Copies of this chain bind each other. A is one copy, B any other.
């Protein structure tokens, strides 16, 4: 019944990562409650019981999935920005360019949808996500915009908090569209040109025209 003959070598350290990866796949496909632990196990190439060797229960596994899938995602964007100092406009462009990759990558793109969908049952996860992802992304964006306002690139009459949300909203829409409507309905959305337009309109909308 052993699927793979290399059963005994890839041990204790690889297992949890493999299981979490498989779980992300299944959660992304079916959502939390429709996910059967047996399917996760199957895809990870282990038995049902093995999942419980590493995770106390389904919820615990779900949290691990979110955590594991997010760490690289946030870090990637953060470091990207930190290492590419430039004008506010250019940095905004950088952030978006960096986000597009993440948004387009299938499994990670499902995280926002999962968090939103399961915020009912797991407020903990919403809390965690808000703190670890949204807040960090917020600070990042807010920094860029503040700098733009200070340098005279951006209008000073725009609430930073609002501006940040405006900047993020189309990215969120893209992620949700790609995970909800594209697979279900087949309505394609080409992320790259859309976000390019977004950047264009946003920068134009935030641009300081008093200097005209």
- A119 — nearest CB in chain B belongs to which residue? B180
Q: Which residues on B sit within 8 Å (CB–CB) of A29?
A: 120
Interface pick from A17-25, A69-77, A155-163: A155-163
Task: Flag whether A116 is at the interface (Cβ < 8 A).
Answer: yes
Binary interface encoding of chain A residues 116-158 relative to chain B, with 1 for a CB under 8 A from any of its CBs, else 0: 1111110100110010001000000000000000000000001
Q: How far is the CA of A119 from the CA of B158 in the complex (A)?
A: 36
Task: Flag whether A30 is at the interface (Cβ < 8 A).
Answer: yes
Query: Shortest distance in angstroms between A47's beta carbon and chain B's nearest beta carbon?
Result: 15
Query: Shortest distance in angstroms between A68's beta carbon and chain B's nearest beta carbon?
Result: 21
Contact A197 B116 (CB under 8 A): no
> In the complex this chain forms, how many copies of it are found?
4
Given A127-B184, A130-B187, A201-B158 contact (CB < 8 Å):
yes
Q: How far is the CA of A175 from the CA of B119 in the complex (A)?
A: 14
CB within 8 Å of B: which residues of A? 29-31, 33-34, 113, 115-121, 123, 126-127, 130, 134, 158-159, 162-163, 165-166, 168-170, 172-173, 176, 179-181, 183-185, 187, 189, 193-194, 197-198, 200-207, 209, 212
Q: List 30 A-B contacts (CB under 8 A).
A: A30-B120, A31-B117, A31-B118, A33-B33, A33-B34, A34-B121, A113-B116, A116-B176, A116-B180, A117-B118, A119-B179, A123-B184, A123-B185, A126-B180, A126-B181, A126-B184, A126-B185, A127-B184, A130-B181, A130-B185, A159-B193, A162-B193, A162-B194, A162-B198, A163-B201, A165-B173, A166-B170, A200-B205, A204-B204, A204-B207
